[in-house]
Amino acid sequence: MKLLVIEDSARLRRSLGHGLRRMGYAVDLVEDGREGLDYARFNDYGVIILDLMLPGIDGLTVLQRLRELGRKTHILILSAKDRVEDRVRGLELGADDYMVKPFAFEELCARVASLARRRHNQKSPVIAIGPVTVKSAARVVEVGGNPLPLTPAEYSVLQLLALKRGKVVSKERLLDEIHDSESFAGTNVIEVLICHLRKKLAAAGVLGIIHTRRGHGYLVES
């Protein structure tokens, strides 16, 4: 899943970017509100992490403009403003969640995962596909109760296919899920990842879960 972090603190941007990428997300990092609004308008993000006090355009204005443009991206406000009226204002303007700085990185990840599930109308953090279980809260995959070692990118691809099980997901959509906006990787990266996934699943005794639809993309049966 691709995330957009709009945060004016360079140091916080750096640690968040590193952490979230290591969690398997594709992350775009933006410093000011105006640039953040442009990124949000022209990209499809799973979740936007938005600071409120931003140079250029403040966070609430970014939020308001995005909702006015009809963007339904889940937005999590991450701000030092802790007053009730600030939180209420943010949520009233269309934010899906609000976190006050300083925060626990674990909690931020859990909230991002929760928003990501909501995007796919998936309430449970556990998705079962036959013997394969995708646990989105811990970002792990298990086969028959045993963990399947996956890279963050492999996990992200499998998770998206699981969330959209029964539907064909295009290579471009999968690529968009694992790479940020500044990446120039081609769709063959997805083919390689799918190949690795099938091999790891086969090694664990699971065959034929991921199906190829030539010219369209990939599918996991529901």
Partner 1 sequence: MNPHLPSIRSQMTLRVLAGTAVLLVASSSFLGILFHQRIVEEYDDALETRADALISVLSLDKEVLDFDFNEDAMPEFAAPEPEDKDEDSDEVSFFEMLLPDRTSLRKSPSLAEHTLPWSTGAPPEPDEPILWNSRLPNGRPGRLLQVEFTPELEDADEEEEPPEIPGEDVDHVLLPDHANLDKLRVVLIVGRSREDLNETLALMYASLAVLVVVVLGGIAVVLRRALASGFQPVDDLNAQLKAIGPDSLQDRIGLEAPRQELATVESAVNQLLGRLSAGFERERRFSSNVAHELRTPVSELRSACEVGGRWPDDPKEVRALFEDIHAVGVHMEKIVEMLLTLARCENGAMPVECERVELAPLLRACWQRVEDEAAYKGITVDLKTTGGLFTISDPSKLQVILQNLVDNAVGHGAPNSVIRCSATQSGSSPVIRIANQPEELDREDLPYLFERCWQKNAARPDRQRAGLGLSIARALGDLLGIRIEPKLEDDGTFVVQLILTGVET
Among residues 41, 44, 72, 101, which is the contact residue for partner 1, using CB under 8 A? Answer: 101
213 is a contact residue toward partner 1 (CB under 8 A):
no
State yes or no: residue 84 binds partner 1 (CB under 8 A).
no
Note whether 46 and 115 are within 8 A (CB).
yes
Q: How far apart are CA 95 and CA 92, in angstroms?
A: 7
Say whether residue 15 binds partner 1 (CB under 8 A): yes
Q: Does 131 bind partner 1 (CB under 8 A)?
A: no
**CB atoms inside a 10 Å sphere around CB 56:** 16
Residue 216: CB minimum distance to partner 1, A: 36
Helix (H, G, I), strand (E, B) or coil at 18: helix
For residue 144, is it left (φ>0), alpha (ψ between -120 and 50) or beta?
Answer: left
3-class SS of residue 210: strand
Nearest in space to 148 (alpha carbons), one of 25, 115, 159, 208: 159
Q: Is 55 in the site for partner 1 (CB under 8 A)?
A: yes
Minimum distance from residue 87 beta carbon to partner 1 (Å): 14
Strand order of the sheet with strand 126-129? 126-129, 132-135, 140-143, 146-148
The answer to whether residue 12 forms part of the interface with partner 1 (CB under 8 A) is: yes
Closest distance to partner 1 from the beta carbon of 119 (Å) = 24
Q: Is residue 105 a contact point for partner 1 (CB under 8 A)?
A: yes
User: Binder to partner 1 among 34, 35, 43, 58 (CB under 8 A)?
Assistant: 58
Asked if residue 38 binds partner 1 (CB under 8 A), the reply is no
Beta bridge partners of 148: 141
Which residue lies nearer to partner 1 by CB, 110 or 168?
110
Interface residues toward partner 1, by CB under 8 A: 8-12, 14-16, 18-19, 22, 31-32, 51, 53-55, 58, 80-82, 100-106
